[in-house]
Amino acid sequence: MRIDIMTLFPDIVGDMLCESILGRGQERGYIRIECHQIRDYTTNKQRQVDDYPYGGGRGCVMLAQPLYDCWKHICDEAGHRVHTIFMSPCGKVFKQEDARRLQREHERLIIVCGRYEGVDERFIEECVDEEISIGDFVLTGGEIPAMAVADAVCRLVPGVLPDEECFTDESHWNGLLEYPQYTRPEIWKDRKVPEVLLSGHHANIDEWRKQQSIERTRERRPDLINDK
């Protein structure tokens, strides 16, 4: 799996995605994440990537041409059109099933990070395959959402995590939230680890965890239960 991220802040994004599990996944060749500086594709000395919007209004809009030239460079390098995602509050809200779909269906992705008041709509129409949001709120740019999507997708690539159970037991994999987790010490601030987890009876532990997942989902995210 390879992900190319188009951004005005490639060093920040790249450094973050080269740490910990994703960093080791890249070192071992399971995934590759490349960040591209959009300003490198501008045509004037000021390296201008934005301009005032037609029709008036506050703020500026990212220019279509440098975005397109950066996108085309990546696609030309790949030898084909690469599935392209634009991080946008207007997009479909990202879910675990989307991470699974993207990892399963695509060997390479482009993620575009917007800034300012957004990007010229003509670039979206020409180059973007889907718009994704990470929630019903607005951030100052697409970098944090892009990192979230890249992380969620890359951790599903075989070999990045040591075992499938590392993600199949987690929240949202099967439509439920994950059960509570405990570690040493057995008693902390007068709070004791549930007896069933100390029993060594794996069938009982599995049943307890299943019931805890259902109860936690019903209490904290009843919308997930209602969607079933």
Which of 143, 126, 125 is CA-nearest to residue 134?
A: 143
Q: Which residues of 62-76 are buried (b: 16+ CB within 10 A; e: fewer)?
A: bbbebbbebbeebbe
Residue 215 half-sphere exposure, CB side, CA atoms within 13 Å?
8
- Residue 106 Cα distances to 1, 24, 55, 149, angstroms: 8, 21, 38, 14
pLDDT of 220 reads 95
Q: Count Cβ atoms below 10 Å from residue 13 Cβ, excluding itself.
A: 23
Q: What is the mean pLDDT of residues 96-110?
A: 97
What is the arithmetic mean of pLDDT over 36-42?
A: 97
Q: Which pLDDT score is estimated for 191?
A: 97
Query: What pLDDT shows up at residue 162?
Result: 84
Note whether 152 and 22 are within 8 A (CB).
no
pLDDT, residue 173, reads 74
Whether 87 contacts 58, CB under 8 Å: no
Q: Higher confidence at residue 226 or residue 150?
A: 150
How confident is the model over 208-218, as a mean pLDDT?
95
Window from 29-33, 41-45, 166-170 with minimum mean pLDDT: 166-170
pLDDT reported for residue 226: 73
- 228 exposure class (CB count in 10 Å sphere: 0-12, 13-18, 19+): exposed
Residues 155 and 163: beta-carbon distance below 8 Å: no
Q: What is the mean pLDDT of residues 194-220?
A: 96
Q: What number of other Cβ atoms are within 10 A of residue 191's Cβ?
A: 8
- Per-residue confidence band for 167, with pLDDT thresholds at 50, 70 and 90: low
pLDDT, greater one: 224 or 192: 192
**Does residue 172 surpass a pLDDT of 90?**
no
Q: How far apart are CA 12 and CA 18, in angstroms?
A: 10
Mean pLDDT of the chain: 94
- pLDDT of 169 > 70? The answer is no
Give mean pLDDT, residues 214-224: 94
Q: Encode pLDDT of 106-144 as tens digits.
A: 999 999 999 999 999 999 999 999 999 999 999 999 999
Closest CA to 85 of 140, 3, 9: 3
